[in-house]
Amino acid sequence: MSQQNPLTLVTPIKPDRLAELYKVLSNMKYRLEKGEHELFEKNNNIHYLRWLVIDDENSVFFNGTKRNPKLVFSSNFDGEVLAHIADLSSDMEHQLLDEIYSCCIDYPEPGNCNAKTRAAFLKKSMIKVSAFYKGSPGRSLKQIREEQDLRMYLRKKLDTENWSGLTAQQIHQKLKKDVRENAAFSFLNKKYSMPKINWFKFALLVIVLLALLPIIIIWILIVEFAYERKDVHYTKTRSDLDADKIKILEEYEDLTSGEDLSKEDQAIDGVLVKDKVINYQNQFSQLVEMKEGKVRLITFKAMMLFAKTLIPIKFVKGELMGIPTIHFARWVLFDDNKRVLFFSNFDGSWQQYLGDFIDQSGWGLTGIFSNTKVFPKTRFLLTGGAYDEEHFLAWSRDSELPTQIWYSAYPSLSIKNINNNTQIRVLFSKNLNAKKAKKLFELI
C-alpha cells in the first residue's frame, strides 16, 4: 500500500532577491498554465505542491509586518520524506530548485551546489506537520492514474460496442477477458482492497476520551471563563474586508487554468476560440497567529493530537467529518509555536468548501482555531466560532493568503472520482453476481 506523506519547508528570503523570486514564481505559474506539468512529473509521485511568499511587508496581506520575508513550500507525495527530498535535490532537478532557492538565505553557493548540499538545505528548512488528512489513503499517484485509465477504457467500450442481449454478468466477463489481454492493465493482477475503518482502535479512542471526560470538561471551563471571555473577537463581515486583497484571492481561485492545448484551435464566426481547461479542484492557504499563553498552546496541541489519532482510524473513505471534497489537508505549527499554517486541496469553490465545514464539522474548526488570535466569539471551546457563519467566512477570507504556485497532478478528478475508480478496480477484478455486476456498471 502506498504511503502518502506531506513535506513543509519554510525558508527566509534574501530581501534584495525578493522581486526576482516573484518573477521566477510568476514565470513558473505561466508555464504550468500552458501545460508544462513535466516540471513536477519526472518522478511520478507528487500529488500536489505549492509555493507561497509570507511576511512581505510590501504585500497588502502583510502591511506593517516586522518579520523577514519567507518562502513556504508544501507537497503531498508518495514514499518516504527523505526520498522525496532526494528527488527534489537531484541533479536532474537542480535548475528548477536553484532558480527558486538561490533567492533564499543559506542556499548553497554555485560552486558548492550539488544534490547533497541541496538536500541538507531542504532538511534544515523542514517544519513538522501537526496533523495531516488524506482523502484517498493508500493510493499512489501511479495507481490513481491507472485506475482512471481503466474507467475511461471501460466507459469507451460500453459506449461504442453493441452489448444488446447480454446480461450484466456476461458483459463483465467479456470486458474482463478483453482487459486481461491488454498489457496497460497488468496492474489488475495485483489485488487491492479499499481502506477500512479500524473500529477496534476507534472504540479504544472513545474509551480513552470517556475516561478523560472529567479533565476535558474542567479544561473547557477554564478556557471559557479565564480566557475566551477576555479575548478580542473577530467582528468584521466580508463587506468590511480590503477589496484589493479579495480581488487577488479570487484570481487564484479561478477554476479555469489557461488554454486547453490538447485540442486544435476552433473558429466561430471567424473568431479564433481556445477552449479553457476546467479544474474541478481548488486550494486554500491560511496563516493565523496563536493566542499567547500555555493554556491555548496545550489546547491547540491536544486538538491536533486528537485529529492525528482519529483521522487514520475513522476517516479513510474519502470523507472528513462528512465532507466528501477534500483531497489533502494539513495544519502546521511553526515560528516557535507562534503561528499556524493551514493548507487544503479540495473540490469546488471556496464558499462551498467552507460551507461544508460549517455544516459538517464546525465544532472541529472552532476547537482548533479558537486558540488563534481574533477568531469569532466561541462558547465553551466547541460552539459559536465557525457556526457564526457571517463572521467566520469573513475571518477565513481575512486570514487567507494567495498561493503563488499551485500544482495538481490530476486537476480534473474529484476525490469522489478517485474513490469510485478504486471501487471499480476492486469490483472489476472479482467474479460478480448479477447485483454486483449492475453496481459496477453504475460506477462506470
pLDDT tens-digit series, residues 357-384 = 888 889 999 999 999 999 999 999 999 9
Is the residue at 63 inside a domain? yes
Domain membership of residue 116 (yes or no) is yes
d(CA 91, CA 9) in angstroms, rounded, equals 20
Same domain? For 53 and 165 the reply is no
Q: How far apart are CA 239 and CA 261, in angstroms?
A: 38
Does one domain contain both 227 and 256? Answer: yes
pLDDT digits (tens, 9 = 90+) for 120-177: 999 999 999 999 999 999 999 999 999 999 999 999 999 999 998 899 999 999 999 9
Domain CATH for 102? 3.30.70
Within a domain: 227: yes
Q: Is the domain of 173 the same as that of 206?
A: no
Question: In this model, does residue 350 exceed pLDDT 90?
Answer: no
| Statement: residue 232 has pLDDT above 60 | yes
Question: Residue 1's pLDDT is what?
Answer: 57
Residue 274 has pLDDT above 80, yes or no: no
- The verdict on residue 219 lying in a domain is yes
Judgement on whether residues 240 and 375 belong to the same structural domain of the protein: yes
Q: How far is CA 250 from CA 313, 348, 349, 411, in A?
A: 35, 13, 10, 18
Instruction: Tell me the DSSP string of 290-310.
Output: BPSSHHHHHHHHHHHHHHHHH
Give the number of other CB atoms < 10 A from CB of residue 211: 10
- Total structural domains in the chain? 3
267 and 362 part of one domain? yes
- Which residue range is the domain that position 49 belongs to? 4-127
- Are 184 and 212 in the same domain? no
Domain co-membership, 278 together with 254: yes
> Do 439 and 359 sit in the same domain of this protein?
no
Q: Please, which pLDDT band fits residue 213 given cuts at 50, 70 and 90?
A: very high
In a domain, 158, yes or no: yes
Residues 217 and 162 placed together within one structural domain of the fold: no
User: Which of 127, 151, 183 is the C-terminal boundary of a domain?
Assistant: 127
The answer to the question of residue 343 being in a domain is yes
Class of residue 385 by CB neighbours under 10 A (exposed 0-12, middle 13-18, buried 19+): buried
Name the least confident of 265-279, 308-322, 378-392. 265-279
Contact 60, 83 (CB under 8 A): no
132 in any annotated domain: no
Please give the Cα distance from 129 to 331 (Å, whole number): 6
CA-wise closest residue to 330 among 390, 290, 286, 374: 286
Give yes or no: residues 424 and 404 share one domain: no
In percent, the amount of the chain with pLDDT more than 70 equals 93
Cα 33 to Cα 47, 55, 260, 296, distances in angstroms: 17, 26, 9, 42
- Let me know whether 304 and 323 are in one domain: yes
Hey, what's the cell of 317? 473513505
Q: Are 385 and 362 in contact (CB under 8 A)?
A: yes
Give 250's pLDDT tier (boundaries 50, 70, 90).
confident
* Strand ranges (E), 209-300: 256-259, 266-268, 271-273, 276-278, 281-289
Q: Would you say residue 135 lies in a domain? A: no
Indicate the pTM of the whole model. Answer: 0.90
Each residue's pLDDT tens digit, 85-126: 999 998 665 688 899 999 999 999 988 889 999 999 999 999
Query: Which cell numbers hold the place of 433?
Result: 453476481
Query: Is the domain of 400 the same as that of 270?
Result: yes
Confidence of residue 270 (pLDDT cuts 50, 70, 90): very low
Mean pLDDT of the chain: 90
The alpha carbon dihedral of 253, 255, 260, 262 has a sign of positive
